[in-house]
Amino acid sequence: MAEKSENKLEKIVSLCKRRGFIFPGSEIYGGLSGFYDYGPLGNELQFNIKHAWWNDVVRKNDNIVGLKADIIMNPRTWESSGHVLGFSDPMVECKKCHLRFRPDLLEDKKCPNCGGKEFSEARQFNLMFKTFVGPVEDSASVAYLRPETAGGIFVNFKNVLDTMRVKVPFGIAQIGKAFRNEVNPKDYIFRTREFEQMELEYFVKPGTDDEWFKKWVADRMAWYESIGLKNIRKFQQPKEELAHYSKGTTDIEYEFPFGWKEIEGIANRTDFDLKAHSAGSGQDLLYTDPDTGEKFVPYVIEPSAGVDRIALAVLCDAFNEEKERVVLKLHSKLAPYKAAVFPLLKNKPELVEKARGVYMELRKHFNVAWDDRGNIGKRYYSQDEIGTPMCITIDFDTLNDDTVTVRDRDTMEQKRVHISELAGLIQKAIE
């Protein structure tokens, strides 16, 4: 059972700031609500999450290809997709301080800013960020920052079909930034205004969509297990909460310190998008079966995951306070550093030289940390806090027999290993 208290989240926020995972966005100017920057370790963590997802979704399946579309697209894309008219949240204004909030997120119907209890009638507020393309700022040059990466996939459906010899069922995957002008950014990096999505649009023959939907829900659950995430569950969205394009959506939720919340949604988008873009663009987006000649508009199953929410879930899951240490028990696949190398003593040049050799050799293959400060205990503490799975100490015996001490983060057990075995040991932990 996950620790419920907000206190745990505060401790994670503090660790992330102190150890270079996550900083408030543009902090020296007082920050900007709903924006965060990832520091060196947070960037590595995100990179590892994206790498694990890409490997599982694209590399493992030879009928899935990748794509990198632009963030700013022809605004007609978002008219066809329904986002210009329909992508909005209700918003109320506090009559006392005039700040605006999503009514469903107000606790005890009180203004979180001033405590006021009177609000305006709810108004619909479109969540897309607007900008202008070119030097003239008029309605003809309005464009949007994409609210989901999926749009880029749908408008390139025909390009991929024509160039990649793919046959239904096949998928197009994309990782990239999405933007939503959320009324209430909330819960640290859980609900932000700029975030990253990992999305797959999987095109299938109508009639086979329910089977594929089940398969993708199962596959996605298995992926979370493969990155060591516990405390997850499936949640079927009730009909009245479905997005305008969805026939059915199953969320994968994680038990955060602030409750069970969605980290990924798997939707059956039917043929809504291809039909809408075909009508909007006037282009034929029909698929012709090369074997039978049958023509149809494919249905789409869409697993859509948020990198930032997964990063937060992984950090919450990994965070442990033990008697004398704080430890992030991250899966080796996700840990920013796969190992840390220490010379036993900093003032013994022969030890430092030997340790540097081991360190530089391992760095050719893995992200490895170097630490020669303080005593070994402090170095272990420091590496535990950032989730480094193993610490490698070079001592006087190493100079004679090329063996080193390897200390395991989770069990804190130590064993003697030959230098030639280190790379294999790290690789095994990752796999």
* 421 has binding-site annotation: no
CA neighbours closer than 13 Å in the CB half-sphere of residue 342 = 23
Burial class (CB in 10 A: 0-12, 13-18, 19+), 261: middle
* 107 has binding-site annotation: no
| Among positions 44, 264, 273, 395, the unique one binding ligand GAP when judged by CB under 6 A | 264
Residues 6+ apart with CB under 8 A from 318: 328, 329, 330, 387
Window of 86-94, 191-199, 347-355, 384-392 that interacts with ligand GAP by CB under 6 A: 191-199
Smaller CB separation from ligand GAP, 197 or 382: 197
Cα 229 from Cα 46, distance rounded (Å): 15
Nearest residue to the partner ligand GAP, using Cβ: 306
For the record, the structure tokens of 58 come out as 């694209």
For the record, the structure tokens of 386 come out as 């950032």
* Cα 116 to Cα 101, 124, 209, distances in angstroms: 12, 21, 49
Least distance from ligand GAP to the Cβ atom of residue 156, Å: 15
Which runs of E-coded beta strand occur in 221-283?
A: 232-236, 248-256, 259-270
| Among positions 81, 304, 393, 405, the unique one binding ligand GAP when judged by CB under 6 A | 304
Least distance from ligand GAP to the Cβ atom of residue 177, Å: 11
Smaller CB separation from ligand GAP, 117 or 233: 233
For the record, the structure tokens of 202 come out as 């999987």
What 3-state class would DSSP assign to 24? Answer: strand
* 409 has binding-site annotation: no
Q: Taking a C-beta distance cutoff of 8 angstroms, is the pair 379, 373 a contact?
A: yes
Closest CA to 166 of 295, 287, 302, 300: 287
| Among positions 64, 92, 119, 148, the unique one binding ligand GAP when judged by CB under 6 A | 148
For the record, the structure tokens of 188 come out as 């640290």
Smaller CB separation from ligand GAP, 263 or 394: 263
Least distance from ligand GAP to the Cβ atom of residue 309, Å: 4
| Phi, psi for 222 (deg, rounded to 5) | -65, -35
Q: Which of residues 354-383 bind ligand GAP (CB under 6 A)?
A: none
| Among positions 150, 386, 392, 404, the unique one binding ligand GAP when judged by CB under 6 A | 150
192 binding ligand GAP? (CB under 6 A): yes
* 269 has binding-site annotation: no
| Among positions 48, 81, 174, 197, the unique one binding ligand GAP when judged by CB under 6 A | 197
Least distance from ligand GAP to the Cβ atom of residue 249, Å: 8
**Contacting residues toward ligand GAP, per CB under 6 A:** 148, 150, 180, 182, 191-192, 195, 197, 199, 262-265, 302, 304-306, 308-309
